[in-house]
Amino acid sequence: MTEKKSAEESVGIPIGVPILLYGPVGSGKTTFSLRMAKEFLGRNLPLIWVCLDESPLNIRKKLSYFGVDNENLEKKNLVRYVDVYTEYVTGKALDEPYVLNCSSVSDLTEVNIALNTARKELKGGGLLVVDSVSTLLLYTNADICEKFLRITTGRFKSDDYTGLFILQKGMHSAEVEETMKMIADAVMGFEVDKGSWKVSIIKKPLTQKTAKLLIGTGNVLSEAK
């Protein structure tokens, strides 16, 4: 069995499919993505994390809460962060070999080039996380965001990357939310109800196994240390 197939079987996330993670703030979308990152990295499948909301250093720290050995994985050339956050928000770019810096959200060509560089530098298909589509939408508009996501999902799908695209519920108009859901092949809904997390499948395809693993449970999220 290939590693990719193994990831699909055991994690239940289909390989090579763009998935929209949709839910309100604090409903576990980023945590789910971190958990998935651990699963992929654990199978030597690479991770590309596009940072718009927080610094790669923060994501790195959060990954370590899940027991991810960042230094080892970076040495194995399995991780790249496309950093659209640090320079734009703090004025100074990071200087780390595993980070590809982008100066501003206004140049999405630069972001696309960084994504392609990351894809070329890492071997094989893996996991792409865009955190978050909401921030991209706020800086740009629905048309630009849709174009960018269609380019990105098309390229990464052909390389067997699973894409996790994070969208905040209630931050955009219903029309914009629907457009974003149309772009993704699958949509997972996240919510918090009476203190527990709930994950539902809004749009297929997701495997039967994913449904069994995730619907109505918070087990994916409870593994954080």
Partner 1 sequence: MRFYIDNKKMKPDELIANEIMKNLKEALEEVTGSKGAAKAIANKIGKNLGVMLAEKNKFRTMKEAISFLEKNGLMTVNNLKTGEEIEVVAKNTVESVPGSDLPLCWFIGGILSGIAEKLESETYLARELKCPEVGESACRFIIERIRI
What is the smallest separation between the CB atom of 135 and partner 1, expressed in angstroms? 4
Binder among 6, 72, 77, 109 for partner 1 (CB under 8 A):
109
- Under rule CB under 8 A, residue 106 binds partner 1: yes
Binder among 88, 93, 179, 218 for partner 1 (CB under 8 A):
88
- Which residues are within 8 A (CB) of 177 and not within 5 positions of it... i.e. 6 or more apart? 22, 167, 169
- Under rule CB under 8 A, residue 54 binds partner 1: yes
Q: Which of 180, 100, 186 is nearest to 140 (CA)?
A: 180
Give the C-alpha separation, 149 to 41, whole Å.
24
Task: Describe the strand order of the beta sheet including 47-51 as a list of residue ranges.
Answer: 99-101, 79-83, 47-51, 127-131, 162-168, 18-23, 186-193, 196-203
- Under rule CB under 8 A, residue 103 binds partner 1: yes
Binder among 5, 6, 10, 26 for partner 1 (CB under 8 A):
26
- Under rule CB under 8 A, residue 45 binds partner 1: no
Q: Are strands 18-23 and 162-168 parallel, antiparallel or unpaired?
A: parallel
**Between 39 and 110, CB nearer to partner 1:** 110
Q: Are strands 186-193 and 47-51 parallel, antiparallel or unpaired?
A: unpaired
Contacts with partner 1 by CB under 8 A lie at 25-26, 51-54, 85, 88-91, 103-109, 112, 132, 134-135, 138-141, 144, 147-148, 151, 168
